[in-house]
Structure 1
Amino acid sequence: MKIHDAETGEELRKNEPHVCEFYLDAFGFDAAQQVDRRIEAWAPTADVKGETVESGSLTLDAQGHGRTDDLTLPDGHYKLFWNFDGENGSAKHKVFWTDCEESDDKPGEPTEPGKPSEPGKPSEPGKPGEPGKPGESATPSPGESTPAQTTTATPSPAPSGQGGGDLAETGSSAPVGLLSGVAAVLVAAGGALMFWRRRAGANKA
């Protein structure tokens, strides 16, 4: 008797010791022979060694072949025993493992590719009269401080040598003072000249 995976065909005569859902396949027996079997939990996974977890009998066909229905057991280590009339020695046996955890792991479904995000809408230009937008002078609420206004100083025109600015005014007053000084000198010179003429006339007399 062999242990076969539930998806393995009955023509296979090789034992499969690692299965999930499985069946027992008997062949090579006498026609219409009856085979009794039992499955026991086995170390190292058995809580109670020798505990029978599945049992039954199987009547074979005219070719000495037969199979059980599909069976399932919790994941673990087990031992199969079978007996039949006319057997030689003790019961035959085979050990096997059931492991359905990996079989239940199905490949994950492909994730749906992310949709491209919608482009952002352009911001609307500021409307006149709305705070904080172009074309508007914000009026502060009562009790709210008004940010200081920045004044831009207008630079004075650079002094030029063509009569503009303070230097030009100073230059225009300089000739007046000079002319006054010259006039005073001329007056003094005229007075001195008249003095010398008078003195010369007196000497001649």
Structure 2
Amino acid sequence: MRTLTRAGAVSAVATAALLVSPAAHATVPGDNGTVKIHDATTGEELRKNEPHVCEFYLDAFGFDAEQQVDWHIEAWAPTADVKGETVKSGEFTLDAEGHGRTDDMTLPDGHYKLFWNFDGENGSAKHKVFWTDCEGTDEEPSTSPSESAGSTESPAASPSPSTGDEVAPATSSSPSAQGDVEGDLAETGNGAPVGLLSAAAAALLAAGGYLVFRRRKGAHQG
């Protein structure tokens, strides 16, 4: 009976140890947290990872209270000029709930890998691979400011309404123009030389006087 009792006790202890062991392994202090890449506009309370960002920050959840974190980001293939080159790094202490975030940051467009180390870790560093692409997020304005400002045309001299026929220049009706026409007509009427007309009149008058003189002389002789 004693042997059976001892065997039963050992069996019960072994069974309890097997049941407890997985739970104890799953809650190893230090390794139970996670870290996410967040766009700068994403709320830090959201537990989602965003592997394509422009301005971003690192967001940690579920670590031990006030755990010290040391992190760095390396340039990664295929865009890295030198693979493994550290391009960003930092450290800070998580809050009482094992949560914390970095300041917002940017990197040149490319492929990167985050390495997240912390006090008390039992395995390798946690890591995330991500891309930055700021060039593709800039939206060009549909119209330039000068175009939008110039949409209202300045009051330029516009052609007057036309019937489509060209109008010939009108003749002037001013007094000076009329005087020029009348002067031309008067000049045309006096085109003959005045001296020549006077000489002809004098010759006719002399001829008439001569005829009268001859007649009177003939009458006296007869």
TM-score, length basis structure 2? 0.53
- Superposition deviation, residue 119 in structure 1: 4.7
Q: Does 1:22 align with 2:65?
A: no
Which of 155, 159, 181 is matched with 1:120 structurally?
Answer: 159
Q: Could you tell me which residue of structure 1 aligns to residue 215 of structure 2? A: none
Q: Could you tell me which residue of structure 1 aligns to residue 46 of structure 2? A: 12
Structure 1 residues 106 and 63, CA gap change in structure 2 (3 angstroms) = farther
RCO comparison, higher one (Cα < 8 Å, 6+): 2
- Superposition deviation, residue 106 in structure 1: 3.7
Q: How far apart in 2 are the matches of 1:108 and 1:5?
A: 26
User: Superposition RMSD on alpha carbons, in Å?
Assistant: 2.4
1:45 alignment partner AA: T
Which digits, 9 at most, give the CA deviation of each residue in 1:171-190, with x for residues without a partner? xxxxxxxxxxxxxxxxxxxx
Q: 5+ unaligned residues in a row in structure 1: which ranges?
A: 130-205
SS, match of residue 69 in structure 1:
coil
Q: Does 1:83 align with 2:117?
A: yes
Q: Could you tell me which residue of structure 2 aligns to residue 163 of structure 1? A: none
Q: Could you tell me which residue of structure 2 aligns to residue 2 of structure 1? A: 36
Q: Could you tell me which residue of structure 1 aligns to residue 99 of structure 2? A: 65
Q: 5+ unaligned residues in a row in structure 2: which ranges?
A: 1-34, 173-222
Q: How far apart in 1 are the matches of 2:112 and 2:96?
A: 30
TM-score, length basis structure 1? 0.57
Number of matched pairs? 129
Q: How far apart in 1 are the matches of 2:157 and 2:130?
A: 58
SS, match of residue 102 in structure 1:
helix
Which of 86, 100, 103 is matched with 2:137 structurally?
Answer: 103
1:67 alignment partner AA: R
SS, match of residue 15 in structure 1:
coil
- Superposition deviation, residue 105 in structure 1: 2.1
Which digits, 9 at most, give the CA deviation of each residue in 1:64-121, with x for residues without a partner? 1110000000000000001112212211111000000121224424754575987522
1:120 alignment partner AA: P
Which of 24, 44, 47 is matched with 2:81 structurally?
Answer: 47
Q: Percent identity?
A: 73
Equivalent positions of 1:123-202 (< 5 A) are: 125-128=168-171
Q: Could you tell me which residue of structure 2 aligns to residue 179 of structure 1? A: none
Q: How far apart in 1 are the matches of 2:137 and 2:112?
A: 18
